[in-house]
Amino acid sequence: MSLFIRKPLSQLMSDTDSSEKSLKRTLGPMSLIGLGIGAIIGAGLFIRTAAAAGGHAGPAVVISFVIAAIGCALAGLCYAEFASMIPIAGSAYTYSYATMGEFIAWIIGWDLVLEYALGAATVSIAWSQYLNNLLQQTVGWQIPYQWSHSPFQHSLDTGVHGIMNIPAVFVLLLLTALLVRGTKGSAAVNSIIVIVKVTIVIMFIILGWKFIDPVNQHPFTIPPDAGTVQLSNGQVHNYADTLNHGWLGVLRGAGIVFFAFIGFDAVSTAAQETKNPKKHMPIGILVSLAICTVLYILFSYVLTGIASYKEFMAAGSEASVSYAITNHMPGFGWLSLFITIAILAGFSSVILVMLLGQTRIFYTMSRDGLVPSVFSDVHPRHRTPYKSQWVFFVFVSLFAAFIPDNVVGDMTSIGTLFAFVLVCIGILIIRNKKMANAPFKTPAVWIVAPLGALVCLAMIAGLGLENWARLIVWLLVGFAIYFGYSRYHSKVRHGEVIVPKDPEMPKEPFEE
């Protein structure tokens, strides 16, 4: 039977209509916007901005954000049409199953592990950095370097090598436990955190504007003769390398800061829990993306104006925002403390959404038979996919504990960009075959979708060969699982009606 057998749209829609099989519809447009902003504003802004500016783009990281925003906006329009047409949990995996067939759906579902699971790992590492910064500011003590860094890092000051990032694992444990319980009040908590995160970004922009030094933003792009800088892993970063200066460096920066936009598509994973998905999903996706884009451009302009880009590769490589405030904004120590606390809370909400999105995708894949049933087992009392949650806690913790943030961050970006390319292609397929009518239509789809795919492919190319190699290895592992397990257990392939074992399906932590 063909590898590209599609899951019929009629079956997809019947899944949502069955009260016995459906997730609980509780989310309105404001909750979706809050969910999107909560997922988007996080480590990408507070960590990856400095990494992109310091290593590749310099002050022109502002342009990197613009490029990344264009790619996200184009893909976001395609996501919005899919989400309004197929309001099912599973995000791009589900869309691909309906348009491009099972094998492509498997690839993208496996690929989304890079986005959500490794995204959660990246943010938990950033959480660890800012926790140490907070401890230093308040009690003058930090968690020992070896217990808050990976084995691939060492301190330039003391020469101590990292062993394991315990704080990153700790926050993952707490948030996994919260998701397993499915706390009903999490929506209110998430809304408060979103307000706090937006507030601190605006405060930094307004208060930091007067500390911008034009010298730090000239030249605008990194020149090829900018020299070298030593990194925390002992390696030397050479700005003369092709992707470390000039406009190619800006493109590489776009692939890095793209991580800052990851999250708007997490809104689509909640389609099956949305009260009116045909109307509210496009609003949640596009409005949250637009708000964050404006804030990102202003934030990156101020940050690279306050401190030199080279500082973000050395002393300011960790907790970069607090570093910039402490060292270049005299008299605003209180702001550094406030922002650190708020960032910790904000990172927590991002991890929560990432872990939520990951388990919901595998929940859908499990119901389709492509992964074992353990991923769709629901807790008898809390009605959450608790086994899946604990499995991914172990998986994510291994990366958070033992791999540096720049590695898992770039893997997250390349995985998500690849998913976006497939979504853009998928919308063209579904339009060409006239498979369904969507309440929301992507405008100028034969321009928007191909352009979105091309922009995302350009950012993938800018991430370098090492990240391509990691993606290929990851996909090869996925192929082995698909041909060894998934194709033999696929319910669509064997004509089975997908009926869950549990009489009650998962409730979500973001309930109103």
- Tokens 């230093």 locate to 136
| Residue written as token pair 């853009």 | 424
Assigned domain for 367 exists: no
What does 413-432 look like in DSSP terms, one character per residue? Answer: HHHHHHHHHHHHHHHHHHHH
pLDDT at 504: 42
| Predicted pLDDT at 358 | 83
Q: According to the model, what pLDDT value does residue 188 have?
A: 63
Burial 200-214 (b: 16+ CB within 10 A, else e): bbeebbeebeebbee
Mean pLDDT of 226-242: 79
Grade residue 273 by pLDDT with cuts at 50, 70 and 90: low
pLDDT number for residue 233: 60
Instruction: Provide the pLDDT for residue 466.
Output: 85
Kindly report the average pLDDT of the chain as a whole number.
81
Of 73-87, 179-193, 213-227, 330-344, highest mean pLDDT: 213-227
> Is 381 contained in some domain?
no
In this predicted structure, the answer to whether residue 422 has a pLDDT above a threshold of 80 is yes
Classify residue 176: in a domain, yes or no. no
Provide the pLDDT for residue 258.
86
- Any residues with CB less than 8 A from the CB of 484 and at least 6 apart, and which? none
For the chain, the domain total comes to 1
Considering the domain boundaries, does residue 294 fall inside one? yes
| Model confidence at 304: pLDDT above 60 | yes
- 138 or 26: which leads in pLDDT: 138
Separation CA 194–CA 378 (nearest Å): 29
CB 270 within 8 A of CB 35: yes
Evaluate whether residue 181 is within a structural domain.
no
Residue 236 lies in a domain: yes
How would DSSP label each residue in 61-113?
A: HHHHHHHHHHHHHHHHHHHHHHHHH---TTHHHHHHHHHT-HHHHHHHHHHHH
The answer to whether residue 303 is domain-embedded is yes
Which residues, at least 6 apart from 189, have a Cβ–Cβ distance to it below 8 Å? 349
Tell whether the model's pLDDT for residue 207 goes beyond 90: yes
Residue 439 DSSP symbol: S
Non-local (6+) Cβ contacts of 305 within 8 A are 59, 208, 211, 212, 213, 214, 216, 217
CA atoms 185, 187, 192, 193: torsion sign: positive
Which of 198 and 435 is assigned the larger pLDDT? 198
Is 444 within 8 Å of 465 (Cβ atoms)? no
Q: What percent of the chain has pLDDT over 90?
A: 22
Residue 459, domain extent:
9-131+201-329+411-489
Query: pLDDT confidence of 173, banded at 50, 70, 90?
Result: very high
Q: What's residue 20's pLDDT? A: 41
Give helix then strand counts, H and E, for the chain.
18, 2
Domain assignment present for 161: no
DSSP state of 55: I
